[in-house]
Every structure is written in structure tokens, then in C-alpha cells.
Chain A
Amino acid sequence: MTIISRLLTCIAAVILLSGCANTTFIISKDGKAYYLGTKSRNLHAMLCESGDLKRVLAEVAIPDDLKKEFYKYNCSDEQSKEKVVAIYTFFMPEEKEALKSAFRRHGYDINYVPC
């Protein structure tokens, strides 16, 4: 990312942090960005139908039940933005870092802005 684009993201993050309490969890790849856990056909195709999320989770050392729930709330009919954020909030710092790195290895970037 260029300096200006990073700056834009930082400005938005500062505005977000200064005025609210809703955590934002965004995933992006190849110029496309989505809120994780939302019911988007394109997000589902990119993350779930491609098998990418399964591959990412297979590489991360987090408890199996949390992996299953993370997959369920992203890829099943029970998709839920709030539940995905709640699972991520519950992860330990090393689990968050491992997940982020695994996503990066598969060409994704995740932006988590907690409030």
C-alpha cells in the first residue's frame, strides 16, 4: 500500500476508535474488501467455496471447536458478523497473530479495529 492509502486507512481507524464501540473486522484480497461474517455471495465464493478458509484454519493452532465456529459463522447459513467478531475477540494474542499470518500466506489481509 502507498503512504497515502495507509494514511486514509489510519484516519478512518482513528475516527472509528474515537467515536464508537463497534469492532470492525474486514477481509480483503485482490482489491476486494468485505466485512467478515456478512451474507455476501462474493465473499462466500472467495472465502468458502474456494476452500481458502478451510486451508487457512488448518494451518492455525487454535482449539478445534473455535475453528469450527469460525468456519460456521463465516460459511454456513448461520453467517454472523457479530459472532465472527466475538470469536476473534476471544482469541489469545498469539492465536490472532497466527490467523493473520495464515490469511496473509493465502493472499488475504485482515483488518481488525477493536473499540
Chain B
Amino acid sequence: MRSPWICSIVLFAMLLAAALFCHSTAQASDKAPDFELYDMYGTRHKLADYLGKVVLINFWVSWCPECIEEMPSLNALYENHKGKGLIVLGVSADRKKESVLPVISRARISFPVLLDTTGGLFIRQYTVVGLPTTVVIDKKGFINERIIGRTDFGAPSFVKKIESLTGTRQ
């Protein structure tokens, strides 16, 4: 009879410890792993080709509501800065193109969306531990920030950050 109690107290302690010691964003200065994937329309995207530009990689999946909710602000950021040195790449964990296309159409996404059907980027290269995750990569190809959770990409502080990184801030 004691066992469920001990178990739940241990669980409580572990969850509490995780809550106390974790952070909303993880700063990282590692070189962003290079990759090559194709988007929905068959266009090849290789990260190394975007050196000299600021790249936002947004990891999402069609069944994640928070991922869909942040799409409009991400798309607006892309539309406003695409000619000013910003590249946005959506990377979906969906196994089938058919699951992704309705979301692209509904959310009117204009940035390229790549399919990572085997988890190459999600698991092996970028180790995505929460959805959505956005990785900000600077012009030199280094990871500037890793954001886990729904984000307002139209927030003045975020726009300011992107403009600073792209060098377009007045």
C-alpha cells in the first residue's frame, strides 16, 4: 500500500525539480548542423546555401495546436523581412505530405515547409525536445537562440532582434 505513495511523492519531487531548474529558452552558440531537405514543391534547401543570411528553422507538426497558432505571426515576419536577409524554413515531423498541405493552405504559409519524415533533423541533428521549437541561426551559421514553445514573432523585442541580426535595424 505504501508503494503508490512513494511513487507519487518521487514523481512530484522530480517534476518539481525539473520545473525549478529549467529555462524558457536555451542559448546556444554551436555551429548549426548542415542539412539538405526538399520542400512540398520539390525545391531543395541546403542550410549551407543560406550562409550570410539569418535563418529561422521552425520545427512543427500538424497535430500540435501551439505550432499552428504561432504560424500567422511567423509568416508575417517572413513576409516583412524576406527581402532583407531573413530565411524562414518550416520543418514538419509529419510522415505524409497530405497531413501538411491543409495546414499550409489554412494558415496561408508562404515560407518553404520541409518534411523530415525520418527524424534526421528532429532527433539526430537538432534534438528537438518540445514543440514548437524555433532555432535562430546567425549570418555566420551559428545557433543564436533556441526557442521552445509558442512564440509571438511579431513582438517588438523579437522583430528588433531579427533586425539586429540581419543588420537592417535603423
Contacts and interface: CB of A to CB of B under 8 A. Distances in A.
A74 to B, nearest CB: 14
B3 A9 contact: no
B14 interface: yes
Contacts, number: 127
B117 to A, nearest CB: 9
A16 B130 CA distance: 13
A93 B23 CA distance: 26
Interface residues of A, number: 41
Given A6-B8, A82-B127, A114-B130, A15 B118 contact: no
B161 interface: no
A23 B6 CA distance: 23
Contact of A12 (B16, B24, B119, B131): B16
- Give the interface centre of B3, B11, B15 by most chain A CB atoms within 10 Å: B15
Interface of B: 2-12, 14-16, 18-19, 21-26, 63, 93, 95, 118-119, 122-123, 127-131, 148-149
Interface of A: 1-2, 5-6, 8-9, 11-13, 15-16, 19-24, 26, 28, 30-33, 35, 63, 65-66, 69, 82-83, 85-87, 89-90, 92-93, 111, 113-115
